[in-house]
Every structure is written in structure tokens, then in C-alpha cells.
Chains A and B, each alone.
Chain A
Amino acid sequence: MAKHPVSLTVNGDEHDLLIEPRKTLLAVLRDTIGLTGTKEGCSTGDCGACTVIVEGKAVTSCMVLGVTAAGKEITTIEGLASDGALHPVQRAFIETGGYQCGFCTPGFIIAAKALLDENPARTEEEFRHALGGNICRCTGYTKILEAVMQAAEEIRTTA
């Protein structure tokens, strides 16, 4: 089937691509652009490993057709650090040990970043609920929530 010309901005860089309509945004990011930080877990919207930010909103990129992302701004895990400085959520995950195998981590970090941008003044219970679309099979979530709460605290006090 005919490929479509698609221009999109990923982490500030513009990409002009030719993509097949059936390619998901996740596949475009990983296979076409080569940004493999975003992970494919279930590919059915259930695990959150593929979470990226599109136009300021966290979405599961396995449920988005790449062609529909044309003209949009996308942020992936590779785009969170600025000038070599990690984002507070990234740092908090490292400091608290909020990961084991790390497969779910990019998705958790991106989802948490979107939540913190929206409102860092959530309770732990609220963060727990809001991160319900992200699954981790290693950690038991305790350290992940610790990391998110630590980042929230930092963002609140430095804002």
C-alpha cells in the first residue's frame, strides 16, 4: 500500500518520513527513527511500556497510527534530559532504585512526567491510581511510587 509522507517532531528534532499507514507510532519511533527507549510490552494498550507524550498528553503509542501523528510534537524518554541534566523523575528513579529489569521504566517515567506537568500536588493514592495503566512485573511498585513522590516533592518545592 502507498506510503504516506509524514513530518513529525520528536524531542525537538523534525523528521520527514515515508510511512506505511499500518505502522503504529511506536513502530515509527523504534524502527524508522531508531529511538528504542520506548518499549513494546503488550501492544494492546494494557501495559503502558510504550507511553510517549503527544502534544502534551501521555498516550500509549502502540494504539496510535504513525500517519495520524503527522505535524505533532512528540516527547520520548530520550528527550527528557536537557543539556545532560536528567529530569527530576529520572533522577528520582535512580536514587530510589525504582526499577529492576528496567523494561517498564521509560513508560513509567514518561507517564509520571505528564502527571507532574499537569499537577504535582497529588497524593500517593492519586498517583497510584493515575499510574494504573503502567504495569511492572519486577518491583512491586513500592520504589516506583517512592520515586514519583520524591520527584513531585522536588518539583513542588522548586516551582
Chain B
Amino acid sequence: MKSFEFFEPTTLAEASRMFTQEHAQLLAGGTDLIIGMKAYTETPQAVISLQKIPGLAGIATDADNGITIGAMTKAREVELSEDIQQHHTALAEGAAEIGSIQIRNLATIGGNIAHASPAADTVAGLLVADAQVDIASAGGERTVPIEALFTGPGQTVLAPGEIITAFRLPRATAGSHYIKHKIREVMDLAFIGVAAAVDMDDATITDARIGLAAVAPTPIRAIEAENLLKGNSLSDVLLAEAGEAAAAACSPISDLRCSAEHRRQMVDVLTRRTVQEAVARA
């Protein structure tokens, strides 16, 4: 690892100002950054730890079951939160898929998202929860919907000095589910990740959201598939149509994990499975 200056600011404004310097990196849980520094793919001159800034960690539920998750909240806490398990099951399931327990005790949800890997395990769950991303900088604050955060692999709309502070999940979803397509039971990266969330009125799907990870340069929503589901009740025909529409929405690559064709087919299959399970849970 190359040498660097280490800073531990205690306010966001201070952290943001430091982060506007060139060759500065934010340190959250460290599970991506430190590995990158060891591999010399990251060679920051300044590392700015966020752990001393108060108010960035923790999960709060409001009266309408809206949930705010601080960016520095550990993946393990997201996984074990009863409110998230109940109201945003897909997100709890996604958090539980990151690395090992030892890694989830370090890794933060903010780091998982800011790293902007299209395969991040929490991203599909945040997409189907309609998460709003709160961002702060020395210049002020703004909020961006999660699907508008990413611009490419490893790329976001975050400007120099901007720091993700929290994820707001505006309302509870009736049923949701996340499936990670992988080889190893734990400690694997997603070949693809599919999340579905539904709201129901008796047997009718009143709202549906489908989030796809690792099948396009950025995580995406499968809007056409969602529209097919809305206003209808579940049937094999409907599921097949939704699966096909979701597969059509993605633009996967072939890599050492699997081929684009396999990814596309699995999006079809796993969309059907996640929607079916989300409806069963609603």
C-alpha cells in the first residue's frame, strides 16, 4: 500500500472540503478501498475517514413506516434490522449477500452504493424500495433518486466534495424479494441480481418494481416489465411476459463469470421467481 495522509474530520463540511482536493478518497467501511490500495488500483494521497462524523450511522423508522438508513450503517445492521426485514425484505436479503459476516461488520451501505459497482448487492433492493439518496457537500444538500445516481461502472453523478449521507425509503412495500445468481453460497460476486417489490389489493398487483444488477453498465429498473404487472393478477402468462420484458431491458456483457446470453436468460427466469415470491409475501 502506498503512503497517504490520514484525516478524520468531525463535520460533513470539513470532510467535503478535504474531499474536493485531488487524489483524495473517502474511507467508509474500507472493504473496497483498502483492497484497492493494496492492489495499487487506488493510490490516494489523502484518505478521509467518515467514522468520526456524528449522525451518519443508524436506521430510523418514522410513523408512516418510512425508513432512513445512514450511509455509514453497516451491511450487517441492514441485514438484521427488523423494520427492513419486514418492510423492505429484498434490501435485507441483499445486504446479507455481501461477503462474509466479518466483512458485513465493516462494509457500509453508503460504500456499497458509492463504489457504484453494477453488481452491488444492496442496489437492487434500494431500487425497488424507491430509495432517495441524500447527498451533502460544503456547498449544501441535495437528493437524488437511486436510479439517477449511477452513470456507468464505478461512476456516479456525485461531484467532487459530495458525500452520500443517507438513503430514505419513503414507504413500506407489501412484499419483496432479492435473488443473487452466484456459484458460491457466500463470498461470491453476483453474476446477476434481481429484486422485485409489489403492493397488492387482494389478488391485484397495484404497484410493481423490478431492480436488476450486473446486467447493464449501471443498475436498472425494468420499467416495461413493471407496467405489465401493474393492474393485473398473477398468472403464468403474465409472469412469462414480465420475465421476457425484463430480459429485453438489460444489456449484459460477457465476462469471466458468465456469458451475456446466460445473463439475459437468467434475468427472465429470476424475474419470474422474484415476482412470484414478492407476491406470495405481500
**Most chain A CB neighbours (cut-off 10 Å) among B101, B105, B106, B186:** B101
Tell yes or no: A65 within 8 A of B by CB: yes
Tell yes or no: A10 within 8 A of B by CB: no
Tell yes or no: B228 within 8 A of A by CB: no
Which residues of chain A from 19 to 50 have any CB-CB distance to chain B below 8 Å in the complex? 20-22, 24, 43-46, 48
Task: Tally A residues with Cβ within 8 Å of B.
Answer: 31
Contact segment of B30-38, B194-202, B235-243: B30-38
Residues of B within 8 A of A21 (CB): 3-6, 47
A58 near B102: Cβ-Cβ < 8 Å: yes
Nearest B residue to A58 via CB reads B102
Q: How far is the CA of A132 from the CA of B103 in the complex (A)?
A: 11
A133 near B187: Cβ-Cβ < 8 Å: yes
Residues of A within 8 A of B3 (CB): 1, 20-22
A68 near B103: Cβ-Cβ < 8 Å: no
Residues of A within 8 A of B35 (CB): 44-45, 63
Tell yes or no: A51 within 8 A of B by CB: yes
A60 near B102: Cβ-Cβ < 8 Å: yes
Nearest A residue to B80 via CB reads A118
| The one of A1, A48, A63, A114 that contacts B5, using a Cβ cutoff of 8 Å | A1
Shortest distance between the CB of A146 and any CB in chain B (Å): 20
B6 near A51: Cβ-Cβ < 8 Å: no
Chain A 107-137 interface 0/1 with B at a Cβ cutoff of 8 Å (1 = within): 0000100110000000000000110111000
Shortest distance between the CB of A54 and any CB in chain B (Å): 8
User: What is the number of contacts between chain A and chain B, taking CB atoms within 8 Å?
Assistant: 87
B105 near A1: Cβ-Cβ < 8 Å: no
Q: How far is the CA of A58 from the CA of B99 in the complex (A)?
A: 13
Main secondary structure of the interface of A (DSSP, over half): mixed
Residues of A within 8 A of B156 (CB): none
A132 near B187: Cβ-Cβ < 8 Å: yes
Chain A 87-115 interface 0/1 with B at a Cβ cutoff of 8 Å (1 = within): 00000000000000000000000010011
Task: Tally B residues with Cβ within 8 Å of A.
Answer: 29
Q: How far is the CA of A67 from the CA of B7 in the complex (A)?
A: 10
| The one of B1, B31, B106 that contacts A22, using a Cβ cutoff of 8 Å | B1
| The one of A22, A57, A68 that contacts B105, using a Cβ cutoff of 8 Å | A57
Shortest distance between the CB of B60 and any CB in chain A (Å): 21
Q: How far is the CA of A4 from the CA of B97 in the complex (A)?
A: 35
Q: How far is the CA of A68 from the CA of B29 in the complex (A)?
A: 10
Nearest B residue to A70 via CB reads B8
Q: A63-B34, A68-B30, A132-B186 are in contact. Are A48 and B6 (CB under 8 A)?
A: no
| The one of B47, B51, B102, B106 that contacts A111, using a Cβ cutoff of 8 Å | B102
Tell yes or no: B27 within 8 A of A by CB: yes
B37 near A59: Cβ-Cβ < 8 Å: no
The 10 closest A-B pairs by CB, nearest first: A133-B100, A132-B186, A21-B6, A1-B3, A57-B105, A22-B1, A60-B102, A133-B102, A59-B105, A63-B34
Query: Which A residues lie at the B interface, using CB under 8 A?
Result: 1-2, 4, 20-22, 24, 43-46, 48, 51, 57-60, 62-65, 67-68, 111, 114-115, 129-130, 132-134
Known contacts A57-B76, A60-B106; 7 additional CB pairs below 8 A are A22-B37, A45-B103, A65-B49, A68-B30, A68-B51, A114-B101, A133-B100
